[in-house]
């Protein structure tokens, strides 16, 4: 099992946006409001991936703030694209686009 430093990601999100982590599942971290998702890079523990909700209007600003917070924590952030959420009965489906 891969060690994932959730506390580091929580700190990055808080420094960059003031938001708290709402949910973490496997290698994905969802902050409050789900404007973006942080994904752990299991091949390099000091790198993270970032996806933005397709309707997010502040992608550039958020990515800059998150990248700067990562630098403070001596890690990197890679922009990977967008995602959307779809309600499927009682479940929520996550689709990367």
Express each pLDDT in 23-46 by its tens digit.
999 999 999 999 999 999 999 999
List Cβ neighbours of 6 (8 Å cut-off, separation of 6 or more).
21, 24, 29
User: Hey, what are 71's tokens?
Assistant: 């630098």
Q: Which pTM value belongs to this model?
A: 0.93
Residues in the chain: 97
Coil vs helix vs strand at 77? strand
DSSP H helices, the chain, are 6-17, 59-72
pLDDT at 59: 97
pLDDT band (50, 70, 90) for residue 21: very high
Q: Where are the domains of the chain?
A: 6-96
């Amino acid at each position: 099992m891969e060690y994932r430093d959730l506390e580091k990601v929580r700190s990055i999100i808080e420094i960059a946006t003031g938001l708290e982590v709402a949910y973490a599942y496997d290698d994905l971290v969802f902050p409050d409001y789900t404007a973006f998702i942080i994904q752990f890079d299991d091949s390099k523990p000091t790198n993270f991936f970032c996806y933005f909700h397709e309707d997010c209007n502040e992608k550039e600003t958020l990515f800059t703030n998150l990248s700067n917070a990562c630098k403070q924590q001596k890690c990197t952030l890679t922009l990977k694209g967008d995602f959307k959420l779809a309600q499927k009965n009682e479940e929520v489906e996550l689709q990367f686009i």
